[in-house]
Each structure stands twice: as structure tokens, then as C-alpha cells.
Structure 1
Amino acid sequence: MEVLRLLRFCLALSVLPPAASQPPGCRRQCGNVTVPYPFGIGAGCHHGAATGGFRLRCRRRPPRLTVYGYGHEVTAISLATAEATVLLNASRACYNDNHSGDPNLQQQQQPMALNGSAFLFSSMKSKFVSIGCPGLAYFNDGDGYYVTGCMSVCRTSERSLPGSCRGDDGCCQSNIPLGLGSYRPYLGSFGRRRGPGGGRGWEPQQATFMANSTACSYAFMVDAMWFWLAGSHFNRTGDFAVPVVLDWAIRDAPTCAAARQDTAAYACRSAQSVCLESGNGPGYVCNCTDGYQGNPYVLDGCTDVDECQHSDEFPCYGVCVNTPGSFTCTCPKGSSGNATIQYGCRRDNKFSTALKAVVAASSGVFLLLLAFFAAHLWVQKRRLLQAKRRFFEHNGGLLLQQQLGSLASSGVTFTIFSEEEIAKATEGFSEARVLGRGGHGVVYKGVLADGSAIAVKRSRVVDARNVKEFAREMLILSQINHRHVVKLLGCCLEVEVPMLVYEHVPNGSLHGHIHGGGAAAGELPAGARLRVAAEAADALAYMHTSASPPILHRDVKSANILLDGGLAAKVSDFGASRLAPAGEAAAVATLVQGTLGYLDPEYLLTSQLTSKSDVYSFAVVVLELLTGRKAFVPVEDEEGEEEGSLAFFFITAAQAGRHREVMDEKVREELGVEVVDEAAELLLRCLSMVGDKRPTMKEVADRLHRIRSRASSCRSNSADI
């Protein structure tokens, strides 16, 4: 008997599935939640290590699915989007209003740790939210470093503003960065201080913050779409839980190429599966190829889609025949035409036997020649399609499509255009459509099929940046929504060098309006010049401080600031921009790139790009507006004329007390010497050789608005006199 048992045990071991396959006999349901492989309930029913995040536990009475080793409750798992939804308890802090002397009666922190698992918080579908006022909420990562946060107050009802969760209605929210695996929230308050003499009790410090204060404040990570749908009806108190969207991936290998080297652990097991790089953190995910559906993580998990059974998605008004990965749709016998559209098939004309024989005989040679010609065209077309597909994949098209699919419910309007659409919109890249030319490419005006005007940037050189980073930057730039920033509408990836599609700005560049070539060249009054400068500064300050992550333009110049129909500024051309770490002092090491006359000297020497590099370049643009000179102009000295920088020319004149002489005569007359002096003092700070001594872009924008207000007051006083 013992020998028989040993033989049965050895036989069982010999038929066990490989580590990356779905084991048989495992439970795949917990309550109303389906558990697809690579996830599994219990030991040996999942992919990877027991604490890697794919092992789940089903608790009874009532059934509740949790992540083994972490305890987070799972309510949904998606293979198609590589996402999971878990429940997170909201953190709470309640404050005393009965003069007990302690402002914080109760505080419950509800952290969530994902470190070491397959999960990361979704930066696209989850947000950090705080409710209560006045409230100050933030959270840090597992190492105790600050990640993000927000503050909220409550305006009085008669002064309420439109919108929800904007920071002044008792609710605020903040975006979540990529790669976040741990969350520890903290709740605080402001505007509360102790009573007179340090006695017991708390009194409002400012009516602005304490007008409609709440007894408790809450903070939590939450599914952004779920919270948006809850809207003004979200008024929960006490202990409650909210859904959070997590991104998961196979983290055993950093990339698909590395994963394929270990065939035993490679997770894409189905023959009809494809490997895609993870859009959040290292690793990869698996998808079924076009025409197949199912689970790509198990053997034969991707099955053919019978398109003939889904006429709503694959219409066919003739004879439908399913094929592996596709289907054919032909007209019934005795008819011809396009069977994929309604009434597309028509009855064939009846010819006599003799006429059919004549037609067949006379057509034979023609059809033979046509077959050879068609074969040649087919080969050429196939090569063209293969080249387009190769360019599309190399330029990150698959990754960008996956990430756009996950953003479809968030209202992001970013389009991947085909080369045919762009060519049709620009009339085959006609010379008559050229808006401008530069050292890196040509910009064309286009008109889409719906009649909307666009601007297409067609570069000449290939940007060697990482494909994955390019797709991520396209997504981030597409979400910039600022009235003084040119909107990025989409891109075309079917060509060797990707083409970018922007909204069309009709009034040309600021450079043309100042130096000639614009519709109203040289006719911008001094007040309008200050307004344009302040608007452009607002746009750059928004990209430096409000975008997540911050964006450094790297090529700020008057040619990249466009004017719309109302002569409002629109900052454009992010082809050289870079994503930066958070913080004004953060630097990005890059190859030096920019335009002569606008380049930051410190960046030129160190190759360290910072937000202060944009400040220097922007100061040169303001100098162009106030002086009417070009950024690189002839400078007159005792020996004659030589080329020199406008910035250095201005600094030299200012140090000698001659800065007013440099300014345009109309600018001096309209603005007055006090405003000119104040603008010169700001420009000298911005043009400092040391980046740390320059103001931030936000400070520059605020100062320009004050200078503009002072100039308006001076003009009004002059008019009264």
C-alpha cells in the first residue's frame, strides 16, 4: 500500500502544470467577484510568489475577497485593462467645539501599503480627495516622503462658485503620480487657534476659513469616475469605505524582452496573445490579439471571436463565414456588391450563354495581365502597410492605445490620426498650406473632415527619446487645458518621425507682430504688449507648478508664442519640452537645445535644465516686446557694428543707468518711466547669470500683472489730467 501511494504521489507531481500556467481545480469565484488567472484563491492557484499580490483569500459570511498578506478587499478584477478595484477606509479627524482645549478629539488614519505586490495606485483613474473645512490633507509614501496633498475651505452659500470639489466648497482633490505603491494619509486644520490668554477653548482665527467649518474632516484615495458620479450626493460621515483603482502587471521582469528570455516564467501563455509594456511601473501585461478574446495568461485562453454572432459590432447583410481571427462577408449567389452595408448587394444582370462565352474569352488575357498588375500593387501595398505598422509600433502606438483606452471614461480627447487623414487635411502637404518653417521641421495648416482647423508639425529629424516616455509625455501634454497654451489634439505615428497635431491659432506668432511678417506687425500698443507678456507668463507658470508632472518648455521664444483672433497669447511648440521632477530646484540633464539669443548661459555651461532656464528665455521675449529689438541684433560700439545678444546689451545698458534709452520710444511714452524702471528691475533679476537668483515663473507672472495694473492706472491719471 505504501508503495502504491508513493507511485500515485510521483504521478501527480509529473502532471503538475508549469509555474506560469493555470492550475486545475482552483476556485474562480468569491461571492459576485470572478477571479481570473494569474490571480487565484489559495496556495498554488496563482502566478508568482505567495506575497506577490496575485494570491487572494475568500473570507466567508459574507463572502469577501482580499489580497493575501495585505488584507485589502477586492471588488473587481479586469484582464483587459490590467486593473483591480479595492476598498479603502476613509481617514477621519474630528475637532472639538465645546471648548475642551483639545482641537483634535479623534483621528483615524487608514493607510494602504502595496509594496512588494503586483499593484500600484492608478495615476490615471484614482485621485486623492479631502472633504471638510477648513482642512489640510496630504499623504506620504512608505519611506515617509511627501507625495501630494490639498487644502479646502467653505465659502458662504451666497458666494458659492460653479463646479465641485475645487477647494473652496469643502472639498479638494489632487492627482496621483505614477509608480506609487504606498499611501499613508495625514489630516490637519488651519484657521483654529486657542482662546485669549492661552485658556481653554478654540476661536476662529479668520472668518474666511472658519465661516462654515465642519466638525470632522475626511481624506481618502478614490476612483475618480466613481467620485465624479457621486457628485454633490457624496455626504457620508462616520466610518465609510470608497473604491480605489489599482494598476497591476507581471513584475517578474522589467520589460517584455526580458520576460521572453525565461520561457518557464513567461506569463503570456496563449498562442494568440501579445505582450505589452506596463504603463505604470516596471513589468508587462498580456492581451489577446485582434479577432480573439479570453484569458491570455492560460494555455489556449484566447479563443476566436465569432464575428458572425455579433452583427451589431460586425455588420454583415450577406453570407457571413467566420475565420480564425477574422470573418468574410459576401453577397448571396446571384448578387454582388458590398455586403457589409445595408442594401449593398445588387442582383447580377442575366447574360445569355453566348454572351457569357464571348465576355469570358475576350476578358481572359485582360484578366491575366490585370492579375499580374494587381499582384505587383498588392506587394507594394503590403510593404507600405508593414512599414506603417513598424513605425506605429516603434513610435509607441500600442502603448499609447492602451493608455488612451484606460482614459476613455475620463473625457480625455486625444486622437491618433492616420497618415491618410493628415495628408487629406493638408492637401498632400501642399506648399500653399505652409504656416512656418524652422530648423527642425515645417508647420502646415489643415482642415479635418468635420471642418475644424488644425496645425500639423512635421519634423525632419528623429527624436531618439525612449518610446515609452514619448507616449507618456503625449498623454500628459494632451491633458493640459489652459487658455493661453496651444492645445495638443493628437499625433500621427505611422511615419518615421511622429507628426503632432495642434489647434490652429489664426493670428501668427508674436515674433511676426514685433519684427514684421504678422497681420498687424509693429502695431501692438504698449498696454497690449504687457498683456501678452503677462498671459504667456501665466501659461509657463501653469506648466511649471500646476501640471503633474511639471513641464519645462526648453525653447521659449517670441516665435513660439502665437496670437489668436483677439490677440491673446498662446504658448506653443512643446517638441523640445521635458518632464521634470516636482520642485523648483529639480534639474534634468539633457543635451543643450534652444535658440541663439534665448539660451540660458547656466544651462549652456552645465547641461542641467531647470525651470529657471525658461525664466531666462522668457525675459528675452519681454525685452523684445519692450525694446522692439530682436533677440540677436547688431550692437553698435566705438569700432563699428558687431553681432551681440539683446540680453547682454540690455544688462550693460542697465548697469550704466541707460536702460530707458534701450526701450522703444512709444513704450516709454505710454507706460511712463516708473513702469519702465520697475519692468527693467524685474528683467535684470530674470537675466541673472545664476539660476538660483532668478524668480520663479509664478513670481514673474504676478509681478507682470502688478506692473500692468500700475501702467493702466498711470494712463487713466494722465487722461484725467
Structure 2
Amino acid sequence: MDLQNLIMSSKPFHIYIFFIIFFTLAKHTLSLDNKFQACMPRTCGDGLNISYPFWIPHEQESFCGLPSFEVICRERNSFFSISNVEYIIKDIFYANYSLLVANAAAYKDTCPAPLHNISTHRTQLDLSSDNSDFSIFYNCTSLPDYSIFKIECASNSSHLHSFAVFHKEVLELNYSSESCQSLVDVPVDVQSGVNFTSLLEMNHTEIMKMGFLLNWSGHNCSTCQMSGGRCGLDNDKFVCFCQGGPHYKTCNDVTAKEKTNWGRKIGIGVGAAIGGVIITCIIFFICQKRYKKKYGLQYMPSSFQSRNISSGHPSSTTTDDPEMGSKYFGVHLFTYTELEEATNNFDSHKELGDGGFGIVYYGKLRDGRAVAVKRLYENNYKRVEQFMNEVVILTRLRHRHLVSLYGSTSRHSRELVLVYEYVPNGTVADHLHGERAKPGALPWPTRLNIAIETASALTYLHASAIIHRDVKTNNILLDDNFCVKVADFGLSRLFPTDVTHVSTAPQGTPGYVDPEYHECYQLTEKSDVFSFGVVLIELISSMPAVDITRHRHEINLSNMAVNKIQNKTLHELVDKTLGFESDSKVKRTITAVAELAFQCLQHDKESRPSMAELLEELNDIREKEYIKHKTEEVDVSADDAALLKTHSHPLSPDSALNWIASSTTSTHST
């Protein structure tokens, strides 16, 4: 029986089943791989985003992450095991391959007492060098004179004592740990926003809850994600799962290797699918003609009757309706109507500030979140598609001292708007010389913390290949605990680089702009370093970066600072309320920070340190002063020498180092 006779003798029901089989086969064969859907990012605990290299059992497949990176969602927390010890994940920083975790025992035990050092052996994890050791000594026959955190609950008897300290190396100068039964080092991330000196007022449980940083090693997933893919594993090898099947690195480019590897898997399937579709179409048209002639359309399934299909280019990652909330490669898209409602139609009374990129408004979303809504100036961007791609990059930058970018309006919106977390306590500029400034309200230890936290955020940006371009105290926000949140990070990426009107800030703000940039028109990471040097001088002096009421040679604070340091008159620059003349500790640390600022303000960018070096130096200044405060045994001159160690960056003959040395000598001679 030939094909035509077979078709003519078949009943409509049989033909309908035949169609279903072919279309199911075609759909199954063409998709080939449902791993893209299986590896969709999930939220865990209290809204923590979980994606490669992490995965959630029972919600995702094991190929969506590394085998030992299982995350358990329980009791509004995300749990992670390391060597059979359970930890709570406080945050994950995908861009720099790190996560912040805390021992779960600190949250559920009345006396958390870890018995072993953390072991990352045979794992793809390493302890971050940013952690400090918090050492716990158990069951000691005596207590040291060194300031300690007593742990009475972990002592076996009234004759044995348990305690903890930072900087055990200082303790062991005058105390033998042999008098103790055991010692465990607990890493702690001391940069998590807690004032360093306030650690002394905390107990060991509170310190353990601060958590510590872990770094993981593995493939870079960002290229895959930026192309719309999801990272995972296939036969223990990294792949990028895409809607059309797995790729080697990215959904956009198919290499010869990919074609070889995956072609074998899809060739037969695609061929069968195409053949099936052709045969099905022939059967469909023959049957349609026969049954239309004999029966009309009464026997034709309704699914084959004509329908109105909208034209366009659908996407699984975006929603074309501008008034529907959706996501764009993981970026939340707000509707313009939603943001109008949140800001009371962009009420001028809700304005928080007016910068070079747009006006910022206070808003409150329907879910109760307070937000800062930035309406971008229309004439400052060129391509909407580029805008959306850059927003994807900025949204994925996560650091505890960067303002969180919640999302934006879609590219279909009548205006381009960015939505950030709201930081309530104003800017550093407000507290130094603005409307919130009060004498003595911002003490030097707090200012030093602001410098360190800002340096930490900028170091992270530079490691992520982002130049801030507009580092200034107006872009350093403070929360209620005076912890830093750097704003407008990388926002200049959204705009053309040929903007010449400097006051609009895409390339910097007067008083903070790298002088070498004006000469060579090359913006580098060292341009941010120069601007950060101005911020350090503002923290020392409480003066604005530009003040036209000052002497014409001192209108720019950077010029004033360099001149006063070279002329050995730093005391004329320092805010009188900081206790520079009356407190030796304040004088030492301000002097050391002034030296760093001097290096940042060098005209030649090659003479400036990197942000990573500055962060290390600032931490050393704070930590060494902390050790000195604890021991009270270090000679002043020796401590100064340690704080002001020789730097790797060349300075002028009249550098601050020479001035500091002479200043220290004169101080001891009185």
C-alpha cells in the first residue's frame, strides 16, 4: 500500500495521533537538553541567590554546580558544610569568587566552642587573606595580662580558664600557650563594618557571628551568564547550558571544538526532527485537502485551525510589555508606573540629590523596601541596548561596601531609571562639611574605618575591571552605624567616554580629577587612586575638595595638602577637633594616613600605589595601633617606624617621610 492510499484509508483520529507523535519527537529532539531550565538560579533562605558553582539538592540537579558545593535551605537560612561542619552562608560574592560564612554553632549553641581549626583540605576552597585570626585558648592554668575575651562557659573547672584573643603572636611574647590544653584559630572578617575598637566590647559568640571569607577556585561563569546561559557540568567538565543546547564557554560563540563534541549528539536528532517535520507537513496538507473536500473542517482538530499569532522576537529572559515586571538576564525590571508610584510621581520634595548622571529620589516600593531611584539624564546615553548590557554587569557586582543595584526600568520604558538600595545616613561629605557636620561628631577612629571600607570597595571594583571614575565624599554613603556604601560605582560605563563637560561628572568632579588624565586623556585605575587621596585629606581636614574662598593656591584641597606636608605643617591641615595635638595615638595614625594621601596625590600615576596596596597599608595602620593600645609596651619611636615603613613607591625629596621623621624627633626631644 503506497503512502497516499495509507493516508486516504486512515481515520482522522489516527492522523491526529500521528501528528502528536511527530511533533513531540521534533520538540524533544530539537531541544535535546533541558539542563538550561534545570539550572535556573534559585533563592535560598532569606533571599540569597544560589547559582553556579552552588546548587540546591531537590531543587536543582547535581550538574548545576560543583559536587561539594551543596547548599541546604532551612529555617530562612542557607547552610553549607565544610569537612562535616555546618556553616551559615551570610553572603556570596560571585564576581570575586568568595563567600561570607559563619559557624552555625554561633547561632544555635549557648556556648559555641569550636574544637578544631577549619580544614579546607581536598576542597576547592581557601581561607581569604582578608580574615584575621581570632584564637581561642581552652582550659589554661592561668590567664594572661593581655586584654582577652573570657569564655567562662568553656572552662572545665574553677582552676582552668578559657579565653580568646586577636593577634596571638603579641600575646605569646609574654605568655606561654603550653599552659593551655588546646588552641583553635577561628578566622574572622574584621572588615564587615564593625568599628575595630568596639570589638573589645563584644563577646566571643558575637565575634564568631561576624563570619569569615572563603575563596573558591573554578571556571569563570560570567561570560556564559552574560550570553544568557547557565553554568554547569557535563561529565565533570565545565559547560555553558543554553536554550539551544550546551556550549563550551558562551551561548554566542560556537567553536570548532563545540561543533565536534556536540555535533555528534545532535546530528541524528536534528536530522530525524527535520525529516519528521517534512513528512508531517506532507501528511497534513494531503489530509487537509481530502477532508476539507469531503467533510469540511468538522473533523480537523481545533489546534490545527488558523490562529492569530503575534509577531516579534520573543525571549525567555525578557518581557516585551513595558508595564509588566520581568527580568533581563537576572536583572529585575521595574515598570515606570511602579516607580512613579514609589516616588509620588517623582515629587521634587523626595529628591535626595542631583548628580552628573541624573536626579535621585527617595522611594518606597510596594513590598515596603526603601529605595533610591535615579532618573538618568536623557542626553547622556546613546544606545539603550548597551545600557541594559551594562546594567547586567553592575547588578552582579556584590560587595558589602557597595550600594546594591536592585534593577532598572526596561529598554521599552519611556525613561531609563536605576533603582538602588536606600542608605539612610547621608554622605561622608554631609558629615564632614555639609548639613550634618557637627564638631566632634565624627571621631578619628570612625574616619579611619571609612577610609578602609572605601578602599575595600574600590579594590574590589578594580579587581572586577571597573574604574569608578567619580570617587568623592558625596558618593560615599553611610548607614546608621557609619558603615560605608560606595555609590555610582562604574556608572560611567553606561555613558559615552567623550563627554567634555567635566561638571557633569562622567569623567570626574572638580577637585578630585586626576591631573594626568587632563594631560593624556587616559583614564586608569590610578585616576581613582588620586581621587581617593583627596578623600583621605578630606577625612583628615574636614575641608571640601574645592573652596573658592580659600587662597588661590589652596582652592584645590589636593594642592593645599601637598604644600603643607612638604612644608612640614600638617598640623595646620588637620581638623582641630580630632585631637591631633593632644592624643599621641591620633597623631601617629593621622600622620601615617597623610603619608598615604601624599603618595596618592603624586602627579605621575606610576608613583601612586594601587588600591590593593592602600587597603593593606590602611589595615596595617589600624591594626598596629590596635596592638600598641593592647600591649602598651612598644616604644613610641619604634612604633612610628613600624607604621611609617619604607614604601615601594618613589616620593619627592621633600616627601612626607622626611617631615614625619623630623617631627617625631622633635616630639621626643621635648
TM-score by length of 2: 0.50
SS at 2:588's partner residue? helix
Q: Are residues 621 and 615 of structure 1, via their aligned partners in 2, closer, same or farther at CA, if it must alter by over 3 Å?
A: same
Question: Corresponding residue for 1:690?
Answer: 604
CA spacing shift, 1:419–1:658, aligned 2, 3 Å: same
**Is 2:240 the partner of 1:245?**
yes
Call closer, same or farther: CA 1:174–1:662 in 2, change over 3 Å.
farther
Aligned-residue offset at 1:633: 2.4
Kindly provide the CA deviation profile for residues 151-193 of structure 1, in whole angstroms up to 9, marking residues without a partner as x. 9xxxx9932379984335996324245389xxxxxxxxxxxxx
Query: Match for 2:608: what amino acid?
Result: R
Partner of 1:567: 482
Aligned to 1:455: 372
Counterpart pick for 1:658 among 569, 584, 595:
569
Instruction: Please state if 1:577 is matched with 2:492.
Output: yes
How many residue pairs get aligned? The number is: 403
C-alpha distance in structure 2 between counterparts of 1:157 and 1:469, whole Å? 52
Query: Which residue among 419, 431, 443 is the counterpart of 1:525?
Result: 443
Query: What is the letter of the counterpart of residue 648 of structure 1?
Result: N
Is the partner of 2:116 in helix, strand or coil?
Answer: helix
- Following TM superposition, by how much is the alpha carbon of 1:249 offset from its aligned partner in structure 2, in angstroms? 8.6
Structure with more contact order per residue of length (Cα contacts < 8 Å, sep ≥ 6): 2
Per-residue CA deviations over 1:262-304 (Å, capped at 9, x if unaligned) read xxxxxxxxxxxxxxxx974699xxxxxxxxxx99xx9999xxx
- Go from structure 1 to structure 2 and tell me whether the alpha carbon gap of 1:282 and 1:658 turns closer, same or farther (over 3 Å shift): farther
2:43 corresponds to: none
State which of 450, 453, 461 in structure 2 corresponds to 1:535: 453
Q: Which residue of 1 aligns with 2:642?
A: none
Q: Is 1:544 equivalent to 2:462 in the alignment?
A: yes
Q: Alpha-carbon deviation of 1:437?
A: 2.1
1:554 positional shift: 0.6
Looking at structure 1, the residues matched to 29 and 429 of structure 2 have their Cα atoms a distance apart, in angstroms, of 60
- 1:45 corresponds to which residue? none
Equivalent in 535, 541, 556 of residue 645 of structure 1: 556
Q: Helix, strand or coil: the match of 1:551?
A: coil
Q: Distance in 2 between matches of 1:149 and 1:30?
A: 43
Q: Distance in 2 between matches of 1:649 and 1:170?
A: 42
Question: 1: CA distance between counterparts of 2:468 and 2:602?
Answer: 19
Deviation string, structure 1 residues 442-471 (Cα, Å, up to 9, x no partner): 211111111111110112343334434322
User: 1:235 corresponds to which residue?
Assistant: none
The answer to whether structure 1 residue 555 and structure 2 residue 550 are counterparts is: no
Length-normalised TM-score, structure 1: 0.47
Paired residues of 1:150 and 1:172 also in contact (CA < 8 A): yes
Which residue number in structure 2 is paired with residue 305 of structure 1? none
Identity %: 31
Q: Note the C-alpha offset of 1:664.
A: 1.7
What's 1:36 paired with? Answer: 30
| Equivalent position of 2:218 in the other structure | 173
RMSD: 5.3
* Residue 446 (structure 2) pairs with residue 489 (structure 1): no
* 1:72-151 correspondence to structure 2 within 5 Å: 76=33
Q: Indicate how the Cα distance of structure 1 residues 173 and 567 shifts in structure 2: closer, same or farther if over 3 A, else same.
A: same
2:116 maps to which of 138, 148, 158: 158
Q: CA deviation at 1:248?
A: 8.4
For residues 226 and 503 of structure 1, what CA distance do their matches in structure 2 show?
34
The answer on whether the counterparts of 2:230 and 2:242 sit within 8 Å (CA) in structure 1 is no
For the residue of structure 2 that corresponds to 1:594, the secondary structure is: coil
Instruction: List per-residue Cα deviations over 1:577-620 (Å, max 9, x = no partner).
Output: 3399xxxxxxx988672100000111222221111111111111
Partner Cα distance (2:630, 2:233) in 1: 52
Alpha-carbon spacing, 1:428–1:129, altered in 2? closer, same or farther (3 Å): same
5 Å matches for 1:207-222?
none
The reply to whether residue 604 of structure 1 matches residue 523 of structure 2 is: no
The alpha-carbon distance between structure 1 residues 679 and 246, as it changes in their structure 2 partners (threshold 3 A), is same
Distance 1:570 1:719, change over 3 A: farther
C-alpha distance in 2 between matches for 1:645 and 1:681:
18
Corresponding residue for residue 471 of structure 1: 388
Measured in 1, the distance between the counterparts of 2:378 and 2:494 equals 21
Check conservation: 1:632, 1:645, Cα contact below 8 A: yes
Contact 1:513 1:522 in 2 (8 A): no
1:437 pairs, out of 325, 331, 354, with 354
Measured in 2, the distance between the counterparts of 1:530 and 1:170 equals 26
SS of corresponding position for 1:486: coil
1:29-73: per-residue Cα shift (whole Å, max 9, x none)? 999994439xxxxxxxxxxxxxxxxxxxxxxxxxxxxxxxxxxxx
Q: Please name the residue that 2:308 is paired with.
A: 324
8 Å contact kept, 1:445–1:454: yes
- In the TM superposition, residue 522 of structure 1 has moved relative to its aligned partner by 5.9
Q: 3-state DSSP class of the match of 1:555?
A: coil
Q: What stretches of structure 2 of length at least 5 have no aligned partner?
A: 1-21, 41-62, 70-94, 99-113, 128-213, 256-272, 282-304, 637-670
Q: Which runs of 5+ in 1 are unaligned?
A: 1-27, 38-74, 84-124, 132-147, 181-221, 228-239, 251-277, 284-293, 302-320, 327-388, 581-587
Q: Deviations over 1:219-277 (max 9, x none)?
A: xxx974569xxxxxxxxxxxx54462255899xxxxxxxxxxxxxxxxxxxxxxxxxxx
- Structure number with the higher strand fraction is 1
Q: In 2, distance between residues paired with 1:282 and 1:656?
A: 63
Report the CA distance between 1:438 and its aligned residue: 2.7
1:78 deviation in Å?
Answer: 8.7
1:372-451 equivalence runs, <5 A? 412=330, 414-451=331-368
The CA deviation at 1:709 is 2.4
